[in-house]
Every structure is written in structure tokens, then in C-alpha cells.
Amino acid sequence: MKTDIKQTTLKNYFLATLLAVGLTACGGGGGGSSDGLSKVKDSDGDGFYDAIDPAPHDASNPGDFSTPEKILENPKVKTALEAAKKHGVPVRADLGHNPPTLTGYYKQRVAEGRIVATSTGMDAGHLLAGLESRVSTKGERFESASVQSDYFEALAYTYVKGSILRGEGSNFSTYEPYKLVCTENGSNYATYGIKVRSATQDKESGNLSAANMISVGLASSGTLTSACDERLAGSARAKWVVSKEAPSQKITDVEDFEYMCVDGDKAYIPGEKWKNKEKKSCKCTTDYDVECE
């Protein structure tokens, strides 16, 4: 997994977005399964699939996060949920087995979400970047591909997979393991954690309410360089982050997207490959352009 982070003149303004929104399992699309979602392998059954697991064959590292129930039992997650409630952003942590179908494309506006609080006291009040997303769900499985942006350019892209969707009726929660890698100045610092997010779907429009979210750090690897600490505004050291996302508007025409790679009625992020209607092989480049051959 890798998050591609581009330089921007609004670096300090939207820095925290890359933590609060970008704390996700990311990377290429990977192989598909029969239900259209990505195949993932979790050798030790701890809920972190191998590509984002700090120890793919050691179930004790970072611990048992294989189900939402196990996630919610974790003391670090409990602390973050209490912090979210204390700061007026309670995360519902739904456990129902009849969640809404979320499959589709969504857009979040720039600066309508914000970081509410962190365990270090840093970054509170930072506004969140805009987001263009492709979401796929099947039963209790959830994955998404997204591009984050400021007012002028794309900032990063993320791929979330191996995640769990729970809920009942219009209410839902997602339970998302993540690995975030900072490559600033050649660094290889990585943080691993869990994100829990709750929101409500409007059945008529398909739009999603502003989600309440916690991101919980569980483990790290590599050396936290000063460059990465600056890039993440110190949030790499946070044990938890509480955020309020912007509402998500369901998009019916992907031509409305500015940054995702659009081909026909579908949209992609860098690293993804597909066949277009002429059967040519296409890919989305790191410049967010479609290239076919």
C-alpha cells in the first residue's frame, strides 16, 4: 500500500486531511473476486490483510481486529470512542447485519469537514480536503477508491479494501484497517491502525450524511523522520484522531469529477488498469490522466 502525496501550496492548510481521510488501506486495485470486490489474503486472520499487516503471520501484531465486535473491544478503540463522544462527535459503531447498499460514486466538498480533536492536542480545527470516491459494497464487505484534493489540484489517492460494513436500514458504520506510508524525502515510515466511521444514507437521493469518524493508531514501522513529522503535522504521533467529514453527494455522472480518471461511465485512481470499450488496455497515471494503448 502506498499513498501518493503531491506537493501543494496549501500544504499546511490541508495537511491533516492526509491523516484523517487518508488513513486507509491503499494501493492498486488488485485482483477481483466473483462479487466484484478485491481479493485479499489475511494469513493470520487478525483483520489486517497481508499487504497492510505489520506482521502478516503473527496474529498478536497488531492484535485481533477480525470483526467489528473484536475492534470495539480493543482498549485503544474504546478510548477513541469516548474521546469522540466527549468532543461532540459520537461514532455510532453500528453492528446490524442489514446495512444499506452504498455502491456508487460520491463527492465531498473542500473544507466542509474538519479534525475535531487528537490525542496530542495538535491539528484540531484543520479543515479536510475534497474527496472524489468510488464505493463498492456487497453485503457486509466495503471498499473504496478515492482522490483527495484542495481547491486547485489533487493531493493524494487512496484505496480502501478488506473493510467491513455493518448497519440497519439507513444507518451504517464502516470498520477499516489501514496502513499509511510516508515517502517524504525517501522515508519509509508506516503507521497501522483502525478507522471507525458512522453515517446515514438518504434513501431518496443516495447522499450520505456527514460521517463521524475515529482513526486509531495501533503500530508503526520504520523511522519517523522530521520530514514525515512535518508532512503529517505531528499527527503521526497521535494515538487517536476524531473527525467530522463533509457530507457525501452521490454522483450520477462521473463527468462531474475533476480529478479521478474518467473513462465512459466509470472512474479510477492512479495504479488501476482496465479495458475500455474499444478493448484497449488503459491505466490511470500518477498525473491523474487516462492512458490507453
Residue labelled with grid coordinates 500500500: 1
| Phi, psi of 92, deg, nearest 5 | -65, -35
Q: What pTM did the predictor assign? A: 0.88
Per-residue confidence band for 192, with pLDDT thresholds at 50, 70 and 90: very high
Per-residue pLDDT, averaged over 78-104, amounts to: 97
pLDDT surpassing 70 at residue 25: no
Q: Residue 166's CB: how many other CB atoms inside 10 A? A: 23
Buried b (16+ CB within 10 A) or exposed e, 119-140: bbebbeebbbbbbbbbbbbeeb
H-type alpha helices, 63-203 = 68-73, 75-86
Per-residue confidence band for 190, with pLDDT thresholds at 50, 70 and 90: confident
**Residue-averaged pLDDT of the chain:** 86
Contact 173, 198 (CB under 8 A): yes
- Which one has a higher pLDDT value, 8 or 61? 61
Instruction: Write out pLDDT tens, residues 31-46.
Output: 444 456 888 999 999 9
pLDDT value, residue 234: 58
Per-residue confidence band for 238, with pLDDT thresholds at 50, 70 and 90: confident
Contact 4, 176 (CB under 8 A): no
Per-residue pLDDT, averaged over 218-243, amounts to: 81
CA distance 153 to 9: 10
Q: Which three cell numbers stand for residue 187?
A: 522515508
- Which one has a higher pLDDT value, 186 or 117? 117
Amino acid at 246: A
Per-residue pLDDT, averaged over 91-117, amounts to: 96
pLDDT surpassing 60 at residue 4: no
pLDDT value, residue 248: 98
CA distance 94 to 60: 25
pLDDT value, residue 239: 92
Amino acid at 14: F
Closest CA to 242 of 100, 155, 98, 115: 115
CA distance 218 to 48: 12
Residue labelled with grid coordinates 510516508: 182
Strands 189-200 and 114-118 come out as unpaired
Instruction: Write out pLDDT tens, residues 118-144.
Output: 998 877 888 899 999 999 999 999 999
Per-residue pLDDT, averaged over 242-253, amounts to: 96
Strands 114-118 and 240-244 come out as antiparallel
pLDDT value, residue 14: 40
Per-residue pLDDT, averaged over 19-25, amounts to: 35
pLDDT surpassing 50 at residue 216: yes
pLDDT value, residue 49: 96
pLDDT value, residue 185: 77
Instruction: Write out pLDDT tens, residues 6-19.
Output: 333 333 334 334 44
pLDDT value, residue 27: 35
pLDDT value, residue 231: 66
Per-residue confidence band for 268, with pLDDT thresholds at 50, 70 and 90: very high
Per-residue pLDDT, averaged over 213-222, amounts to: 93
- Cα dist. 146→121, 158, 252, 271 in Å? 28, 5, 16, 12
- In the chain, the percentage of residues whose pLDDT exceeds 70 is 86
